Amino acid sequence: MSSVMPSILLALLFLVVILHQSDAQLEEWCIADEQTPDNELQKAIDWACGKGGADCSKIQPKQPCYLPNNLKDHASYAFNSYYQKFKNKGGSCYFNGAAMITQLDPSHNSCHYEFLP
């Protein structure tokens, strides 16, 4: 009887690991698609930081995500801010085709891209 106990414990441990993995959510960030023309990125940033409700304060001058100061990086931060804030309420990472999902954390230096489960 005592030789059966380790097998049962191992089986239970296996089930716990499998169930935990199936409940785990992949970490995803929303970033600008590098192929998007600058004028489309600018329109999408304007919407995300305006009516969209993204928090774009960190891409302002002298803030942690201002540098590099280019449309692609600022759009990525704005898109991700919107996406993380609204993804569980029906928001998407589309931005008229200007954005895409990545599983690689785009954070760099002092610029931290938020992830919310």
**For the chain, domain boundaries:** 26-102
Q: Measured between alpha carbons, how far is 101 from 29 in angstroms, rounded to an integer?
A: 6
What local confidence, expressed as pLDDT, does residue 47 receive? 98
pLDDT digits (tens, 9 = 90+) for 75-105: 999 999 999 999 999 999 999 999 999 999 9
**Reported confidence tier of residue 4, pLDDT bands at 50, 70, 90:** low
pTM: 0.80
Would the pLDDT of 24 be above 80? no
